[in-house]
Amino acid sequence: MKKKIFALLMVCAVVLGAVGVGFADPKDEKKAKTNNQLLALLPPSDAAMAVDAKRFFGEALPQILSANQPLLTEILSRFDEIKTRTGIDFKQFQQVAIGVSSFKAVENGYDYEPLVLARGQFKADAIITVAKTASNGKFREEKIGGRTVYVFSPQEVIEQNKGKIGTSAMSGIFGKMLVGLTKEMALTSYDDKTLVLGSLARVREMFESKTRISTEVLDLVSRKPNAIVNFGANVPSGLSQFIELDLDELGKNLNGVRQLSGAVDVLDGNTLVSVAAKTAEPAQAKGLKEAISGLQSLFAPILKGSKREDQKIYGRMLENAKIAQTGNEITLDVQVPQTDLNVIVGTKKPN
C-alpha cells in the first residue's frame, strides 16, 4: 500500500505540475475573469477543468518537456492528428473549460459524459465547416434550442484511422482517456468565438437546461484562477472506484476523499504543484496527513542517498513537499526546478 501512495504522490508532483501559494500576477486578473466566465457557462458537472490553452501550448509544454524534444513532438503530433481527422485545431484555442458528468472507471479506461467550451481568436462557424469537411460527410444535423448541432461518430473515425496511431506509452495514455469519447460527439457554437463540443446529451443539457455548474465545483476549479490548468471534482463514492484500495485504515481514509482539486503552472523556470483533497471526516484527513508525512520521512532520505540522479530528485521533491491539514482538507504543494525536471523527463541514454 505504501508503494501505491508513494506512486500516487509522484504522479501528482510530476504530472499535475501545479501552483504554489502566491504566484498570481495582478496583470492576469482579466484573464482569470475570462476563465471563470467560461466555466460558469457549463451545465451541472461532477468534475471540471479550466485550461489557459495559449499558455499551455506556448509556455508549459515547451518548458516542461524542453529536455525531451521527441516526447514534445509526439504530444504535439497527437493534436495535429486530431486537427487532421476532425478539423479542430486545439492550438487555436485561448481558453478552454471542460465539464464532466458520470465519470467512472471502466475496464479499458474511463467512461464519462464530456462537454468542452473553447474560446479563441477564430470564427467558430469556420471551424465547424472545416470539421464537417474533415468528416467526409459522416455527420447528421439536429436542432437544440434553436441551434443547428452537428453530430459525429468518433467510432467511424477510429475505424478509418486504425494503424495510424502510434504504440508508445503516450499513445496508450491518450487511448485510455479517449475511451469516453467513443460515443457520438456533437459540435456547435455558443457565440462567434466559442465552440461547444461534447456528448449529444451534454450539449443538449447545455442549451436546454437552466441549471449551471454548482458553486461547489466552480469554487474548486477557481482556487488558483491564474494557473495554466485548474481542476476540481466531487468524488461522492470515494477513490476506490479509480484506485484499488486495501481494507486497512489508510485505504479507508483514502476512500473517504470526497473532493479533489489542483492546479498547474510554470513560473520562473519552475513547475509548481498544488493538490488538495477533502475527506468526509476530519479524522480521515488527519490519518492521510500522518500517512503521507510518514512516507515523506521514510522515503526521502533513502531516495536522496541513491546513486541514481532521478531518484535523488524524487527524494528532494518528497522532502520539500509541503503537507498541511485544515479541518477535513489536506493540501500538498511541491516546487520542481526545471533543472530537476530535465532529468526526470529527459531522453534516456541507452545502457
> Cell 449551471 belongs to which residue?
212
Ramachandran category for residue 222: left, alpha or beta (phi over 0 → left; psi -120 to 50 → alpha): alpha
Q: What pLDDT score does 261 carry?
A: 95
Average pLDDT over the chain reads 80
Q: Model confidence over 76-97: pLDDT tens digits?
A: 888 888 777 777 788 888 999 9
Q: What pLDDT score does 347 carry?
A: 64
Q: What pLDDT score does 329 carry?
A: 95
Alpha-carbon 74 to chain mean position: 18
Average pLDDT over residues 17-36: 44
Average pLDDT over residues 107-113: 66
Average pLDDT over residues 163-188: 57
Q: Is the pLDDT of residue 343 over 70?
A: yes
Instruction: Give the whole-number percent of the chain exceeding pLDDT 70.
Output: 75
Average pLDDT over residues 233-256: 77
Q: What pLDDT score does 332 carry?
A: 94
Candidate ranges 108-112, 131-135, 145-149; pick with highest mean pLDDT: 145-149
Please give the Cα distance from 39 to 37 (Å, whole number).
Answer: 5
Q: Model confidence over 258-314: pLDDT tens digits?
A: 999 999 899 888 998 899 999 999 999 999 999 889 989 999 999 999 999 999 999
Q: Model confidence over 44-66: pLDDT tens digits?
A: 999 999 999 999 999 999 999 99
